[in-house]
Amino acid sequence: MLEVLTGIGLAASAGLNAYVPMLAMGLLARYTEVIALPSGWQWLSNGWVIAILSVLLAIEVVADKVPVVDHVNDLVQTVVRPTAGGLVFGAGAGSETVTVTDPANFFESNQWVPIVAGVVIALGVHTLKATARPVINTATAGFGAPVASTAEDAASVVMSVVAILLPVFVLVFAVALIGLAVWVFRRRTARRAERQAARAAGFNV
């Protein structure tokens, strides 16, 4: 069960920011004993990989805080984030951490399952993020983009660390994401109703 929660937390984190969970796993595996990556994923702790991820993260952090640019960035990340989600789910759920000491029992067969699960989870979170951002930008005339982006980055960092160290608390983040999804749906429904009412009023004039 903890393996699954670790994978879910890392994949959801990738849905917010593709590079945060990958970088977190690489740094923790390289410089600490908190996590031991399985043999097929040890490249994440390579110095060059960490350097490249750091540069990509810096670009992502800046681009995601500029209105309009953030929308273009979300379109590009539609491929990147789910891919990263599949990678970190597979690597994280198969890693030995302070809470998961024998992940091999869970992933003894069907090695592709965690990767596909990670892709689906990250894509779902990314879709929610990409849908919520225009709503936030419109409601705040663009001023909310940097605030929302900073909150998403912080959530991605916290979720990555929690998924590795305290995977049970991933359930808290899952509830928060569901709450955000409900809010976005209601806002979009309200905006659609307002536009339809405005059109109807225009026709009646």
pLDDT digits (tens, 9 = 90+) for 57-84: 999 999 888 878 888 888 888 889 998 9
Residue 194 lies in a domain: no
In a domain, 185, yes or no: no
Q: What is the pLDDT of residue 148?
A: 83
Distances (CA, A) of 108 to 94, 150, 179, 195: 10, 38, 35, 53
CA R_g for the chain: 19
- Coil, strand or helix: which one is 36? strand
Question: pLDDT at position 88, please?
Answer: 87
Assigned domain for 42 exists: yes
Provide the domain count of the chain.
Answer: 1
Q: How many CA atoms lie within 13 A of 71 on its CB side?
A: 10
CA–CA gap between residue 165 and residue 186 (Å, rounded):
34
- Whether residue 199 is contained in a domain is answered as no
pLDDT score of 109:
54
Q: Which residues of the chain have pLDDT under 50?
A: none
101 phi, psi to nearest 5 deg: -105, -15
Domain residues for the domain of 29 are 2-180
φ, ψ dihedrals at 96, nearest 5°: -95, 120
For residue 22, what pLDDT is reported?
Answer: 92
User: What's the confidence (pLDDT) of residue 141?
Assistant: 72
- CA–CA dist 95, 3 (Å, integer): 8
**pTM for the full model?**
0.75
pLDDT at 69: 86
